[in-house]
Chains A and B, each alone.
Chain A
Amino acid sequence: MSGASGFGPNPWQQTSWDWRAAGNYICGGAGTGLLIASALIGTPAPASLASPDWLVFAGLALVGLGLMCVWLEIGRPLRAMNVFINPWTSWMSREAIISVVLFPAGLAAMLGFAGWLWVTAALALGFLYCQSRMLPAARGIPAWRSPWVSPFFLLTAACEGGGIFLLLGLFHRRVTPTLLIAFLVLSALRVLVWQRYRSSVEPSLALPAKRALDRAGQQLLLFGSSVPLLLLIAGTWLGGPVQTLLLALAGACAAWAGGYIKYTLVTRAAYNQGFALFRMPVRGVRDKP
């Protein structure tokens, strides 16, 4: 019966955002992560009008899929253009505006125009940053109010993008030792930042939210970090065609763990703080001091 900060009913799970909202964070994060990874880590393949860079296409497709999820969520989809109106204060507007520029830039990069891959990666980073600020701006959900949410979203997107890059390594064959090292460092950092985030929200969370986050945290540690590490070691040790397969599996695990934890954050752990009475009403005769 008692709330976190006084008297009041127990918090309950928000019902306004469901898997469709989570889909934007999952696909948008992974897609922008892949775009950034393609620019930073992968040696750009010689793209041309005849043979566009399909990695950029995959990144853009993921971002587009995420935006499609949001479009399915909103109550008035035919008014979707109104989302651009308030870039002064709304991170959702800022994200939407960047997405409008991101897709043409990505198209130019796909077609091999010089320098546009870097422009696309910069825009993807901007998109990702806006997305990472959206949850903390919503003050109704204690699990979203931590200043560690934004760094975690940035890091996990990098891991998810790197993971998908590894997964698609089955086809593009651009996986390098530098990428593997960067991937491992980012995966370890992601776990560390997650733990900082988890500590920061501990005092304000409802019990079911804590349980949901802890379950997701275990998955992150297991499938987002430990299993990929073991697979990378095994792949490096075994070499040959098995290596590519194991690296792809490691990437898939890391991407899945990131998606799962974001889904948990947006839906299962998204409890409000209920109502809390700072004071009880004093009725009748006052107690004597």
Chain B
Amino acid sequence: MTRWAMTADLRRCVGCQTCTAACKHTNATPPEVQWRRVLDMEFGEYPNVKRVFVPVGCQHCEDPPCMHVCPTTATKQRADGIVTIDYDLCIGCSYCAVACPYQARYKTDKASFAYGDPLQSETQRRDDSRLSVATKCTFCVDRIDAGLAAGLKPGVDPAATPACVNSCIADALAFGDLEDPNSNVSQLLQKNQSFRMHEELGTKPGFHYLWDKADT
């Protein structure tokens, strides 16, 4: 079996938002919709201030609350762990949006464009099936499937890897198969200490945050 997962090394992320831009470019999301976001967090008071950049988005949970509440079965989970949305089934009730503890879902009722009137690229890539329904990060599932069909390895070969991971300038994001002990994410999790967001809710996210090297 395969379980696709992502790691974000909080020590490495510099908050450049290149992953956000790459995601928007790849998935043609409208303004104010960011399937891959990077939070800029500050803690403490001067002079003891810490700043952390935290990539967030759909966590592709093992036990996704968004899928359980969905009345239409539009939200599904594949055998490889990726949580998907069927835009043709979704009624846009937003139940999944309030069920998601990671604020990963968006619903856009009207087409909007970066500079008012649509640019040529926005016209070409306009997809009205994504209006008034829930949307979110797909782990670039089309790239993964096409890559696998071409004999490539997701997380290793860029053509089969999510765009955000490809674009990361600091190598903070990694993608791979958790079930493969030799995959990059398995190795990273073995060599580092990690946590998952809101783990107490029992959703078992497929997104791991690295924060320190493993204790020796």
List residues of chain A with CB under 8 Å of any chain B CB. Answer: 1-2, 5, 7-9, 14, 16-17, 21, 70, 73-77, 79-80, 82-86, 89-93, 96, 134, 137-141, 144, 270, 272-273, 275-283, 286
Contact indicator B54/A85 (Cβ below 8 Å): no
Which 5 pairs, one residue from A and one from B, show the smallest C-beta to C-beta distance? A75-B92, A75-B132, A281-B10, A16-B94, A138-B99
Closest to B210 in A: A281
Q: Known: A279-B193, A279-B212. Is A92-B95 also a contact (CB below 8 A)?
A: yes
Q: Considering the complex, which residues of chain B in the window 45-69 have a beta carbon less than 8 Å from any beta carbon of chain A?
A: 50, 52, 54, 56, 65, 67-69
Q: Interface digits, B69-106 against A, CB 8 Å rule (1 contact, 0 not)?
A: 11111100000000000000111111101111111000
Known A-B contacts: A7-B43, A76-B132. Give 6 more (CB < 8 A).
A74-B91, A85-B71, A140-B100, A275-B197, A281-B210, A282-B213
Residues of B within 8 A of A14 (CB): 97-98
Cβ contacts under 8 Å, A70 to chain B: 93
Chain B residues within 8 Å of A278, by CB: 195, 197, 199, 209
Nearest-neighbour CB distance to chain B for A41, whole angstroms, equals 33
The one of A5, A21, A83, A138 that contacts B72, using a Cβ cutoff of 8 Å: A83
Q: Is B133 an interface residue when CB atoms closer than 8 A count as contact?
A: yes
Docked complex Cα distance between A73 and B212 (Å): 45
Residues B71 and A83 in contact, CB atoms below 8 Å apart: yes
Residue from A90, A144, A270, A281 within 8 A of B11 (CB atoms): A281
**Pair B199/A91 contact, Cβ less than 8 Å:** no
With A5-B200, A275-B39, A276-B198 as contacts: A76 and B91 at CB distance below 8 Å: yes
User: A92 to B69, Cβ gap below 8 A?
Assistant: yes
Q: Mark B172-211, 1 if CB is under 8 A from A, else 0.
A: 0000000000000000000001010111110100000111
A-side contacts of B198, CB under 8 Å: 5, 273, 276
Known A-B contacts A1-B42, A1-B43, A92-B95; the reply to A137 vs B211 at CB < 8 A is no
* A280 B72 Cβ-Cβ under 8 A: no
Distance in angstroms from A259 CB to nearest chain B CB is: 20
With A75-B92, A280-B43: A140-B10 Cβ-Cβ less than 8 Å: no
Q: How many residues of B contact A (CB 8 A)?
A: 52
Q: Is B157 an interface position by the 8 A CB rule? A: no
Q: Is the CB of A280 within 8 A of B211?
A: yes
- Give the one of A70, A91, A279 with max B CB within 10 A: A279
* Most B CB within 10 A of own CB, among A21, A92, A139: A139
| Docked CA distance A165–B103 (Å) | 41
Minimum distance in angstroms from A74 CB to a CB of chain B: 5
Given contacts A82-B71, A83-B71, are A76 and B98 in contact (CB under 8 A)? no
Measured CB to CB, the closest approach of chain A to B81, in angstroms, equals 18
- A137 touching B69, Cβ below 8 Å: yes
Question: Given A1-B42, A141-B98 in contact, is the A82-B195 Cβ separation under 8 Å?
Answer: no
Cα distance, A138 to B98, chains bound together (Å)? 6
Given contacts A8-B41, A273-B101, contact A75 B201 (CB under 8 A): no
The CA-CA distance from A276 to B199 in the complex, in Å, is 10
Question: B109 near A: Cβ within 8 Å?
Answer: yes
Our pick among B193, B203, B213 for the contact of A139 (Cβ within 8 Å) is B203
Q: What is the bound-complex CA distance between A270 and B97, given in angstroms?
A: 12
- Tell me, in angstroms, the Cα distance from A30 to B9 when the chains sit together: 50
A76 touches B203 (CB 8 A): no
Residues A7 and B211 in contact in the complex (CB < 8 Å), given A138-B99, A282-B11: no
Q: Which residues of A contact B193 (CB under 8 A)?
A: 279
Whether B211 contacts A279 by the Cβ 8 Å rule is yes
Contact with A92, one of B67, B71, B211 (Cβ below 8 angstroms): B71
Question: How many Å from the CB of B215 to the closest CB on chain A?
Answer: 11
A282 and B90: CB pair below 8 A?
A: no
Q: How far is the CB of A17 from chain B (nearest CB, A)?
A: 6
B107 contacts the other chain (Cβ, under 8 Å)?
Answer: yes
Q: Are A76 and B133 in touch, CB under 8 angstroms?
A: yes
Within 8 A of A (CB), among B28-49: 39, 41-43
Return chain B residues, CB-CB under 8 Å to A16: 94, 97-98, 107
A75 to B132, CA, bound (A): 4
Candidate in B103, B131, B201 with the most chain A CB atoms within 10 angstroms: B103
Residues in B neighbouring A86, C-beta threshold 8 A: 70-73
| Complex Cα gap A33–B211 (Å) | 52
Chain B: which residue is nearest A90 at the CB level? B71
Check A282–B212 contact: CB distance below 8 A. Answer: yes
Nearest-neighbour CB distance to chain B for A149, whole angstroms, equals 13
Q: Are B101 and A17 in contact (CB under 8 A)?
A: no
Interchain CA distance A8-B53 in the complex, whole Å: 11
